[in-house]
Structure 1
Amino acid sequence: MAGPAFGPQPLSDAEIKAKLADLDSIPLFMKSLPEDATEDPAIAALQSLAYEGTPDEIAQNFKEQGNEYFKGKRHREALGFYTQGIDAKPTDLTILEILLCNRAACNLELENYGSVLRDCSRAIGINPKSSKAYYRSALALTSLERFAEAIDCCTRCLAFDQNNKAVEAINDKATKAKEIKDKKERAKREVIARADEEKQRLKRALRSRNIVGVPRPDGSQNPYEPRFDPESPNSLIIPVFFLYPQYATSDVIPEFVEDTTFAAHLTNMFPPQAPPPQWDTKGEYVDGKLVVFAMTRNKRLLKVGKNMSLRDVCNAAKAKEGDPVDGLELKDNCLTFAVLPKGDVEKKWVEEYKKQRDDQQR
């Protein structure tokens, strides 16, 4: 069992804070005095003492108090004293420069970088060779990642203070950081430039295939989009909708390689031996008994042959010589085709489509 402890014992953090709070209530130890009038004679006396003397003496007094708090790393309180010293409007510009630089040091610790730059600018206005003002400006600018400006501050300072090691150190840090940042920005610009070039290349490829983009006013809702085939860079992969007008339903083929035939997809989707889709109540959608139609921008109706590829249909969509520009419409990043059973359903749909088209063109 440990014996009783003798002598002064260390205080806990909570006890230290409590004692400091008690000190703050004692006029002599207050971090700042109340600005308003008070009935406490001790505080009133201290208020009169704090502002007793010439503006330079008052400013000097607040500077010294601020220095004590700064040494104790109580930066917010130190800032308050330096501000009171500045507000005293000292006529000695050396004192004012020091107060501004010291307040900038507090704001650096508090990460108030805009305030640092304002005070340092004022200090440099008073003394164009204020090394501390240039140094603290460079520190703030580096923290804000404004490296070129930080380097400029260091260059100006070293022009008259060649052996300032602290300024040399921040200059080296800002220079290295600027190189890293510039490298990242160049890489980012290159990525953007490559992406833009790829977009332009894709636009040219679509245009050469008689595909006309029709953007949605509210932006694309389709997660898929046309792109170049990574295995055949000169070929396109395009999302395609198969509409089944008879049942007002559809399927999407997110990656239709342009040199693939429509027959290959229909064989895969509607094999003769497989049960029909749930929506095909009459069992009419079976490979070999279906027909595909493409609708162009100018409302022409193109019947897709059994062995035609998507590229073949795009070529067929080109306007005839002398006619207005035509092609397949790329809506919401998709080409759309109608798929119907051959026979009466096909005939009826074609008639209705042409009638509607003719009514619109009248």
Structure 2
Amino acid sequence: MSTSSYGPQPVPKRTLEETLKDFDSVPLFMKSLPDEETDDPTIAALQALAHEGTPDEVAKNFKEQGNDYFKGKRYREALGFYTQGIDAKPPDLALQEALLCNRAACNLELKNNGSVLRDCSKALMLNPKSSKAFFRSALALVALERPDEALDCCDRCLAFDPENKSVQGLRSRAQQLKAELEKKERLRREKLEKAKQADMKLKIAFRERNLIAIPNKTGSQNPYEPHFDPEDPTDSTLIIPVFFLYPQHATSDVIPNFVEDTPFAAHLSNMFPPQAPPPTWDKKGEYVDGQLVIYAMTRRKRLLKVGKKMTLRDVCAAAKAKDGDPVDGLEVKDGCLTFAVLPKGDVEKKWVEEYKSTRDT
């Protein structure tokens, strides 16, 4: 059964913002009057009243209304009244200055720092010794992290108003900001320089080890990267991410931190111990330590068979081109070396033949 719509209905709940908005259509409570002509006699009368009197009187009236709204923290409405006062073009320069500085105060609260600087600049053209204009300019400049300009504003103000406590405090704040930004910039440059030196050191290490970096043109997808062993006091041992590919199964494993002086056999014994269950993809149980062989592929497509006791550094040395031949070495693609791991015997033989056939064609 549907609810009856007869009888008194509950009044819909309204937000405070909706209620206040309704007042904007009531002439007595309007925050600002429309500029265009209107047929509403009450609004027309208020428009005439608001602009009645000399430009100075009109501007002063708008300034007072703006001050009331500013005290109530209604900064947008206050800004509108100050703007109407400025637009009245009062001949009184002090009144013009006050309206500009007050509008700047509103824009400070609204975080419109560019507008603050424009109004304060106009105020200073009217009165080069306007402490409020210098102070509010400096506040905006601090917010914009432009401490040198803020300090200049403070110093210019203190030159004729040396006892101004607000400006003195703001100057200290600007000085602190300058020190913080200089420290931040210094640390940024030191970090860049450190990264530059580390990159150069890594390039030299690659060259010494016959490693050829092949960056990813679309950006690195590798969360790991080559680096020096932090536990090596000589800072000379390289650690490189390594992929072990299993070609017959189109799958792979990654060793994110392969220390170059570690034998390959150490990793194979950990990954494929004889008594452990085989990986899910190894249905025949062929991948067992002692029954596997590793191959490295060089830049010039040479195949290097990795001996059981060989370390990564040993393989790098073996990848070096013979004297007189073009440069060769192991490719570090997207920060990672790649090796093929195969079961000894027919699988190995077939893969080697296919690789050489593809390479030769």
Shift of residue 65, structure 1, vs aligned partner: 3.1
Task: Supply the distance in 2 between the matched residues of 1:27 and 1:205 (Cα, whole angstroms).
Answer: 80
Moved more, 199-208 or 96-105: 199-208
Task: Supply the distance in 2 between the matched residues of 1:352 and 1:26 (Cα, whole angstroms).
Answer: 88
Give yes or no for the alignment of 1:186 onto 2:219: no
Partner residue in 1 for 2:221: 221
Task: Supply the distance in 2 between the matched residues of 1:255 and 1:152 (Cα, whole angstroms).
Answer: 54
Moved more, 281-290 or 239-248: 281-290
Moved more, 148-157 or 40-49: 40-49
Shift of residue 26, structure 1, vs aligned partner: 6.3
Give yes or no for the alignment of 1:252 onto 2:254: yes
Shift of residue 88, structure 1, vs aligned partner: 1.2
Moved more, 310-319 or 110-119: 110-119
Moved more, 219-228 or 328-337: 219-228
SS at match of 1:263: helix
1:318-337 CA distances to partner (integer Å, 9 max, x unpaired)? 11111111100111322111
Task: Supply the distance in 2 between the matched residues of 1:275 and 1:28 (Cα, whole angstroms).
Answer: 86
Letter in 2 for 1:251: D
Partner residue in 2 for 1:3: none
Q: TM-score, normalised by structure 2?
A: 0.86
Letter in 2 for 1:288: G
1:327-348 CA distances to partner (integer Å, 9 max, x unpaired)? 0011132211122223333222
SS at match of 1:242: strand
Moved more, 68-77 or 301-310: 68-77
Q: How many residues align?
A: 345
Letter in 2 for 1:61: N
> 1:71–1:267: structure 2 CA closer, same or farther, 3 Å change rule?
closer
SS at match of 1:279: coil
Shift of residue 63, structure 1, vs aligned partner: 2.4
> 1:236–1:24: structure 2 CA closer, same or farther, 3 Å change rule?
closer
Partner residue in 2 for 1:136: 136
> 1:93–1:215: structure 2 CA closer, same or farther, 3 Å change rule?
same
Moved more, 148-157 or 283-292: 283-292
* 5+ residue gaps, structure 1: 1-13
SS at match of 2:249: coil
Moved more, 325-334 or 191-200: 191-200
1:70-121 CA distances to partner (integer Å, 9 max, x unpaired)? 3444433332221111111223333222211121122223332222111111
SS at match of 1:246: helix
Partner residue in 2 for 1:121: 121
1:303 to 293, 302, 305: 305
> 1:316–1:75: structure 2 CA closer, same or farther, 3 Å change rule?
same
1:196-222 CA distances to partner (integer Å, 9 max, x unpaired)? 322332222122211111122222222
* 5+ residue gaps, structure 2: 1-13
Partner residue in 2 for 1:105: 105
Partner residue in 1 for 2:3: none
> 1:167–1:305: structure 2 CA closer, same or farther, 3 Å change rule?
same
Letter in 2 for 1:354: K
> 1:110–1:338: structure 2 CA closer, same or farther, 3 Å change rule?
closer
Q: TM-score, normalised by structure 1?
A: 0.85
Pairwise CA RMSD = 2.7
Give yes or no for the alignment of 1:323 onto 2:348: no
> 1:79–1:274: structure 2 CA closer, same or farther, 3 Å change rule?
closer
SS at match of 1:294: strand
SS at match of 2:256: strand
Partner residue in 1 for 2:347: 345
Partner residue in 2 for 1:274: 276
Task: Supply the distance in 2 between the matched residues of 1:300 and 1:351 (Cα, whole angstroms).
Answer: 13
Partner residue in 1 for 2:245: 243
> 1:245–1:159: structure 2 CA closer, same or farther, 3 Å change rule?
same
Task: Supply the distance in 1 between the matched residues of 2:28 and 2:254 (Cα, whole angstroms).
Answer: 81
SS at match of 1:120: helix
> 1:221–1:46: structure 2 CA closer, same or farther, 3 Å change rule?
closer
Letter in 2 for 1:247: H
1:253-298 CA distances to partner (integer Å, 9 max, x unpaired)? 2221110111222222233333433333343333223222111000
